[in-house]
Amino acid sequence: MKDILVKILYFGNTHGSFLRYFIDRFSALTPEITDSPFTENGSSHSRQVKYSNRVVRYHPSNSTDPKFDLGSVDPAFFRCDESPHILITFEQKDVLSQVRLRLTRGAGVDYTSMSLSRDGDEILCPERFVLCHGDDILKIYGLDLRSSPRLPAIILRDYLKMLFLAPETHRDLCWLNKIIKSNGDKLIAMPISHFYDWGLFSSSIEGINHRLGLQIQLDGQGQRLHQEFMSRLPIAGTMYRADRMIEHTRSCEDQSLAGLDVAEEAYIAAWIEKNYEFVLSPLTNRFFSSTGEIQTYVKHYPQHYKAMNPNMTHFRGIPNPFYLWHKGNKS
């Protein structure tokens, strides 16, 4: 077996399989690849592709286990071997897209779906979602998804809102930061945001090519492959929709919020609580119908309801004594 050219270290739903395919296909140091990497759910996990095995992709050990205790891992656990490594990175601003992709992508050849479907005011939760989040939801809301995997939309929105209020607590992000702290000087970082723009993606590929001498030749085929990758992402056309709605709210422009998924609603609900002191977003199945309705809500929020928000870790830069989420209820 020939020497490994590069290893790709990545977390689920950060497109490590696509990056492996792209490098393996366009490097002059590997045999020709003609098969498509894509599967019916849009992932790049096709088993028909004959890879060179010189470009290796893998997850941090146990990172897909929802019960794995990150706090028990010694930093030495993350030491890389001598092979060149690419680490796909992401930041707090990327957490919404991560969550949405995880909750919308269907099952694949080696991927158990966590995709949620909505039935009126209820969310139908697949087995993997129950495995990953059932204990937390039972503890916080008293709902046992193992008895009935139907979750009121109001509960899912509130549950996800907690994550968006404190995205720094996202488990994968915490783990990623630990890897960078322990091994950052050994890794070539590739931001996940670069996957969603051909100019940024091709620039990153050229930088990796220059550093590692992979003899990658980018041409029209590479750009067309990237276009197909984007077209198969279930959230590609709506990736920045929630942020646009927030900007409309800031600008007092009335825009319809029809079509948002529950994760986007939770993201906007978290933004409301972060940006309007003492205001809690409503705990109702129906979300705001428009940005104008949000403005009316925050403008006329009753004074006698205003109090320290127990969901916020800090208030005006000071630790919030009413913050309750840190008591073992993190998602």
pLDDT at 110: 54
Q: Are 5 and 20 in contact (CB under 8 A)?
A: no
pLDDT at 251: 96
Compute, in degrees rounded to 10, the torsion defined by CA atoms 170, 265, 194, 116: 80
| pTM exceeding 0.75 | yes
Token pair 């990497």 is found at 37
Q: What is the mean pLDDT of residues 34-45?
A: 90
Q: Are 69 and 203 in contact (CB under 8 A)?
A: no
The more confidently predicted of residues 326 and 231 is 231
pLDDT > 80? residue 293: yes
Helices (H) then strands (E): counts for the chain: 10, 9
pLDDT at 304: 85
Confidence of residue 80 (pLDDT cuts 50, 70, 90): low
Largest interatomic CA distance in the chain: 72
Q: Are 18 and 229 in contact (CB under 8 A)?
A: yes
pLDDT > 50? residue 160: yes
Half-sphere exposure of 148 (CA within 13 A, CB side): 7
Distance between CA atoms of 306 and 309, rounded to whole angstroms?
8
pLDDT at 111: 53
Distance between CA atoms of 214 and 216, rounded to whole angstroms?
6
Distance between CA atoms of 21 and 25, rounded to whole angstroms?
6
pLDDT at 246: 98
* In the chain, % of residues over pLDDT 70: 87
Distance between CA atoms of 216 and 303, rounded to whole angstroms?
62
The more confidently predicted of residues 22 and 178 is 22
